[in-house]
Amino acid sequence: MPRRARPAVQDGPGGPEATTTGGRPVRRRVRLLEVAALMARLHSPLVAVVDTDGVLVGAIPLERLLTSLAISGSGG
């Protein structure tokens, strides 16, 4: 049985939102700039990603985030 993570912020009317790390992941469809802000605020080079059921589906390392931001040219 997969382990379920407990998100700190639930999906709201504006869609999924970034949450804190340290056992609290981000939702799967969070914006790149939100992840970057989260990493900067928490001094964390890695953020966990969960699906709508709270199941861990992956992680975003800092290097991948920076590459994605450089390629996209924006936070979307």
pLDDT digits (tens, 9 = 90+) for 31-76: 899 899 989 998 999 999 888 888 889 999 999 999 999 998 755 5
Rg (the chain; Cα; Å): 12
pTM, two decimal places: 0.61
Q: Give the per-residue pLDDT at 6.
A: 47
Q: Give the per-residue pLDDT at 61.
A: 96
**18 vs 58, higher pLDDT:** 58
Q: Give the per-residue pLDDT at 52.
A: 86
**7 vs 42, higher pLDDT:** 42
